[in-house]
Amino acid sequence: MNRWFPMLAVALALVFAAGDCRSQDVQGLTQKAQAGDAEAQFNLGRCYFYGEGVEKDPVKAVEWWRKADEQDLPEAKYALGRCYELGEGVEKNFTLALEWYQKGAEQGDPYAQRYLGMCYMKGRCVEKDVTQAFKWFEKAAEQGDVTTQILLGGYYMDGEGVEKNPAKAVEWYTKAAKQGHVDAQFILGTCYMEGKGVEIDFSQSAKWFRKAAEQGKALAQVLLGLYYMKGYGVEKAPIQASEWFRKAAEQGDPWGQYYLGWCYRNGEGVEKDLTKAFELFRKAAELGVEGAQKALDEISADPK
């Protein structure tokens, strides 16, 4: 699909918006649920679904979500839809999944809206209808559903199912990035770097790469390191460059290893150390980084 979206598998995973059961008093939650508290019923279902604080039991999860649905809780409809789609706690049934998504979406649940949009986008249990898909995607995104905001950004950037509109893609990426989503921040930094949907602006690019890098995004750390090394959008600072390369290298990122090796080889931002450079280039070469083997050969030929 979209080259920006290795995260789509995560985006389309089973995600519920309720709180973390591990931090809750499950006994107290059960009492509230038994007393008819719809939110407690939904959260208790979530506990059983994930096995958090109780033994995992998708059937019981479905039972509690049905009770929450009887009180018309929108997110319970979404949860039931996912269960029918995945065959968790119930027999897999895409038609019923679609029906539950439709009910939840019409009540304004953003997750149900997103999944209903995907059903229309893929023609799953319903005739493919891109117009309907985007209708529901935009409803979810306008409610702040960050996954859908990124999804829409990808569709508009690539022109998939809609007229290509990089500027609109950037609008959606920005909304998601401002919510702190690391992948959106990285994508937005790349848009400013390459001039996609916006004018090239290395200062803005560095700003968003920094936000993603601070959240541990290895490739953002590498690119921010290169900005510091070259003085793109930031004041040139080899020491900071090497620090960002190191953070990426410590995560096993091959480009972080390569550029940190380059720093050690040339004494840029760190004290020159060919032994460390050689080891880093070796790791990068094993992971297929172009140029790493050449750097190894050069050190071997002239180890000075």
- Given this model, what pLDDT does residue 124 score? 86
Residue type, 65: W
Average pLDDT of the chain is 92
Query: Contact at 8 Å (CB) between 255 and 248?
Result: yes
**Domain 211-304 falls under CATH 3.60.60.10:** no
- Please count the residues of the chain: 304
The string of pLDDT tens digits covering residues 201-216 is 999 999 999 999 999 9
DSSP 8-state assignment for residue 14: -
- The alpha-helical segments, DSSP class H, found in 71-181 are 74-86, 94-106, 110-122, 130-142, 146-158, 166-178
- Given this model, what pLDDT does residue 303 score? 74
Ramachandran angles phi, psi of 272, nearest 5°: -60, 130
Query: Contact at 8 Å (CB) between 203 and 233?
Result: yes
**3-class SS letters over 177-233:** HHCCCHHHHHHHHHHHHHCCCCCCCHHHHHHHHHHHHHCCCHHHHHHHHHHHHHCCC
**Domain boundaries, given as residue ranges, for the chain:** 1-143, 211-304
Same fold, 1-143 and 211-304: yes
Query: Contact at 8 Å (CB) between 168 and 191?
Result: no
- Given this model, what pLDDT does residue 13 score? 40
**What is the mean pLDDT, run by run of 10 residues, along the chain of 304 residues?**
38 43 75 95 95 94 97 96 96 95 97 96 91 96 97 95 96 98 98 98 98 98 98 98 98 98 97 97 96 94 79
Kindly report the number of other CB atoms within 10 A of residue 164's CB atom. Answer: 12
C-alpha triplet 63, 68, 70: angle, nearest 5°: 95
- Helix 218-230 vs helix 238-250: crossing angle, to nearest 10: 160
CA atoms within 13 A on the CB side of 243: 8
- Given this model, what pLDDT does residue 21 score? 63
- Given this model, what pLDDT does residue 22 score? 55
Nearest to 169 by CA among 158, 180, 179: 158
Q: What is the CATH number of domain 1-143?
A: 1.25.40.10
Query: Contact at 8 Å (CB) between 107 and 72?
Result: yes
